[in-house]
C-alpha cells in the first residue's frame, strides 16, 4: 500500500527527502514556490555524512568531475601565518561542489525516481494533522510523517504509549476482519502471492534492512487486503498501517521479536491455506497481541529513560 507525502520546498532537504521516500515506496508531491529549482551561491562543502548520502543516491560519480576533493585544510592568523593545518585522509572526507550542479543532480534523480515536482506552488501552512495548505486554498492530505505542534512547528511524528495502545486495538479489529475475509474469499493465486510475500519477508528478517523490511510488510498487506476485497476496511487499515509502521522499528528493536513475528505469520498462513476462518483469525490476533506487547514494552522503556 503506497503511502503519500506532500513536501514544501524544493531545496536540498526537500528533494532528498522526496527521493528517499519514493525509494521506500511512498508517492511524493513536492511544492517549490519558485519558477525553477535553483540554488544561490557558488560552492558547497560536503563532509562525510552528506557524501555518504550522495553515494547512496548514486550521484557521487556524476558529481566528482565537477567537484574538488579537499585534501588539506589550513587556518591562517591575521598575519597570514599558518595557524593550523589538517589532512583529510579519506577519499570521502571533504569535497566542494558547485551548488547548482548539486541541486540539479538531486532534482534529476528525484524526478526520475517519481517525485512529482510542482513549480510555482507555494505552501502557506500545515495543519496539526500534517496536511499541507497551498496559497490557492488547497488542503493536501498526507500520511502523518510530520505533526504540526501549535506555536512550535513541525516535528517528526512520535507515538505515545497511549496512542500506540489505541492504534493496536483498532488494528486488531480491522486486520482480524481482513484475515477472515481473505480466508474465505481469496483466490488460489492470491493465496500463493501471500505465501511468496511471506517468503520475502522472512528473507528480509534474516538480513535486516529497514527499507526492504517496510516494503516487504507493505507488499504482504497489499495482497492480504486485495484478497479480502473490502474497500472500507482497506482504506481504514491503510491509515492504521502508516501509524503501525512508525511503531514497527520500535517493536522490532525488542530482542527476539523478529523471529517470533515470522513464526506467527507462518501459523496464520497455515490456517488460511486450510481455509480455517476461525483459526486464521486467532493466529492474527495472537500476532497483533504479541506485536503490541513488544512495541509497548520498548515505548514504556523509552518513556522512563526520557522522563
C-alpha–C-alpha distance, residues 307 and 156, integer Å: 19
Of the residues 19, 123, 126, 228, which one makes contact with ligand FAD according to CB under 6 A: 123
27 beta partners: 4
The 10 Å Cβ neighbour count of residue 39 is 15
Interface map 11-50 toward ligand FAD (x if CB under 6 A)? xxxx----------------xxxx------x--xxx---x
148 touches ligand FAD by CB under 6 A: no
Q: Which is nearer to ligand FAD, 125 or 184 (CB)?
A: 125
Residues with Cβ within 8 Å of residue 104, at least 6 apart in sequence: 37
Of residues 89-108, those binding ligand FAD (CB under 6 A): none
**Minimum gap (Å) between residue 156 Cβ and ligand FAD:** 15
Q: Is 151 left (phi over 0), alpha (psi -120 to 50) or beta?
A: left
**Minimum gap (Å) between residue 21 Cβ and ligand FAD:** 15
Interface map 126-145 toward ligand FAD (x if CB under 6 A)? --------------------
Burial of 187 (0-12, 13-18, 19+ CB in 10 A): exposed
C-alpha–C-alpha distance, residues 257 and 81, integer Å: 60
**Minimum gap (Å) between residue 64 Cβ and ligand FAD:** 17
End-to-end alpha carbon distance in the chain = 36
Q: Which is nearer to ligand FAD, 12 or 115 (CB)?
A: 12
For binding to ligand FAD (CB under 6 A), which residues are involved?
8-14, 31-34, 41, 44-46, 50, 122-123
Amino acid at each position: 500500500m503506497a503511502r503519500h507525502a506532500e513536501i514544501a520546498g524544493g531545496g536540498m532537504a526537500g528533494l532528498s527527502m522526496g527521493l528517499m521516500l519514493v525509494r521506500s515506496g511512498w508517492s511524493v508531491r513536492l511544492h517549490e514556490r519558485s519558477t525553477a529549482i535553483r540554488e544561490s551561491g557558488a560552492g558547497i562543502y560536503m563532509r562525510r555524512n552528506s557524501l555518504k548520502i550522495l553515494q547512496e543516491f548514486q550521484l557521487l560519480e556524476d558529481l566528482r568531475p565537477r567537484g574538488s576533493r579537499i585534501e588539506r585544510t589550513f587556518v591562517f592568523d591575521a598575519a597570514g601565518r599558518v595557524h593550523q593545518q589538517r589532512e583529510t585522509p579519506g577519499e570521502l572526507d571533504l569535497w566542494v561542489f558547485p551548488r547548482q550542479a548539486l541541486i540539479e543532480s538531486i532534482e534529476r534523480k528525484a524526478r526520475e525516481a517519481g517525485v512529482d515536482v510542482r513549480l510555482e506552488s507555494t505552501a502557506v501552512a500545515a495543519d496539526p494533522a500534517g496536511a499541507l495548505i497551498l496559497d490557492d486554498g488547497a488542503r493536501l492530505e498526507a500520511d502523518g510523517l510530520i505533526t504540526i505542534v501549535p506555536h512550535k512547528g513541525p516535528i517528526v511524528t512520535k507515538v505515545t504509549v497511549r496512542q500506540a495502545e489505541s492504534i493496536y486495538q483498532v488494528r486488531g479489529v480491522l486486520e482480524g476482519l481482513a484475515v477472515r475475509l481473505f480466508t474465505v474469499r481469496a483466490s488460489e493465486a492470491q493465496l500463493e502471492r501471500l505465501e511468496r510475500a511471506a517468503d520475502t519477508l522472512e528473507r528480509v528478517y534474516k538480513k535486516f534492512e529497514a527499507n526492504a523490511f517496510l516494503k516487504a510488510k507493505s507488499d504482504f498487506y497489499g495482497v492480504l487486503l486485495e484478497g479480502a476485497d473490502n474497500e472500507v476496511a482497506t482504506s481504514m487499515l491503510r491509515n492504521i498501517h502508516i501509524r503501525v509502521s512508525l511503531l514497527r522499528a520500535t517493536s522490532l528493536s525488542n530482542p527476539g521479536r523478529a523471529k517470533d513475528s515470522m513464526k506467527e505469520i507462518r501459523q496464520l498462513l497455515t490456517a488460511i491455506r486450510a481455509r480455517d476462518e476461525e483459526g486464521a483469525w486467532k493466529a492474527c490476533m495472537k500476532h497483533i497481541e504479541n506485536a503490541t506487547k513488544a512495541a509497548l514494552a520498548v515505548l514504556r522503556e523509552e518513556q522512563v529513560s526520557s522522563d
